[in-house]
Structures are given as structure tokens and as C-alpha cells.
């Protein structure tokens, strides 16, 4: 998410999920070593992963996205308005976003996590959020890890 478009999409998607009363974390490392672009946790414990695609080349070069499904209840691609949405697989949700907000284009199918996996992912989410908050209070902690 280093280019100019991806952070704008991330901001809009994060705003969208916040309006749905979801907590959102960017760049969350998963237990398998992958790093998801965005993860949202809803008030009932539902877990959504959003993979941001800033352009067609980014989408075509990415072969890792199917691995994210084992870590969430729903999986979405988030793209900008110019992206050719027909290329996104039917079994994935689609969100169109810019820096101001986002719109749900296609709902993602639900594939509920097993209880033990949900607990592990939720714990990882909570710890990451707490560590990041703590680092804003004491930036020297980041250097010590």
C-alpha cells in the first residue's frame, strides 16, 4: 500500500466500515506470515478482510489473496472507480472507494470461521491495536521490539 492510490482507497474503506461500527486495522500480520491490507471487526465478532487493488497490474500480479479466506468470515476487494470490476471473482465482495468514503458494490459470501480460529484472529487483532496505540504514547517502544 505504498503508492498514492492504495492509501486513499484504504482511508475510504476504513471510513465505510467505521460507519458500520466496525474497528479497522491496516496491514495486520496473520499467523501464516501474510499481511492483510485491512481487517475489520464488527460488534458481533465478525471478521472481514479487504484486499486493496490500486490498479489492474496489482490485481493480476497478486496470487496470494485466496490464502486470506482462512482468516476471515468475509473477503472483499477494494478498488477505485476506474477499476474494471468484472475481473474480480464472483465469490469475492467488491467495494469501490476513494479517500472520502466507499460504496458496497457486491456483498461478500459468508464463510464463518471455526470458534478457535475466530478467537485466535480476534486476539491478534486486539493485541496489534493495543501495541499500536501504546506506540503512539511511547514511540521508543517501537524501536525496542
Extract the runs of DSSP E, i.e. beta strands, from 4-73: 23-29, 35-41, 47-52
Task: Report pTM.
Answer: 0.92
* Model pLDDT, residue 141: 81
What is the domain count for the chain? 1
Which domain covers residue 34, as residue numbers? 5-144
Total residue count of the chain as it appears in this document: 145
Q: Which residues contact 134 (CB under 8 A, 6 or more apart)?
A: 141
- pLDDT mean by block of 10 residues, the chain; 145 residues: 81 98 97 96 98 93 92 98 93 97 97 97 97 92 65
* Model pLDDT, residue 2: 45
* Model pLDDT, residue 63: 87
Q: How many helices (DSSP H) and strands (DSSP E) are in the chain?
A: 4, 6
Amino acid at each position: 500500500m505504498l503508492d498514492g492510490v492504495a492509501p486513499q482507497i484504504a482511508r475510504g474503506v476504513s471510513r465505510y466500515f467505521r460507519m458500520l461500527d466496525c474497528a479497522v486495522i491496516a496491514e495486520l500480520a496473520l499467523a501464516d506470515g501474510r499481511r492483510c491490507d485491512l481487517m475489520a471487526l464488527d460488534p458481533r465478532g465478525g471478521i472481514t478482510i479487504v484486499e486493496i487493488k490500486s490498479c489492474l497490474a496489482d490485481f493480476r500480479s497478486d496470487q496470494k489473496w485466496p490464502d486470506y479466506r482462512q482468516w476471515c468470515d468475509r473477503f472483499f476487494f477494494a478498488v477505485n472507480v476506474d477499476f474494471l470490476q468484472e475481473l474480480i471473482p464472483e465469490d469475492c465482495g467488491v467495494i469501490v472507494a476513494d479517500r472520502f468514503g466507499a460504496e458496497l458494490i457486491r456483498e461478500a459470501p459468508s464463510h464463518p470461521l471455526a470458534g478457535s480460529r475466530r478467537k485466535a484472529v480476534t486476539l491478534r487483532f486486539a493485541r496489534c491495536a493495543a501495541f499500536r496505540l501504546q506506540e503512539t504514547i511511547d514511540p521508543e517502544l517501537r524501536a525496542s521490539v
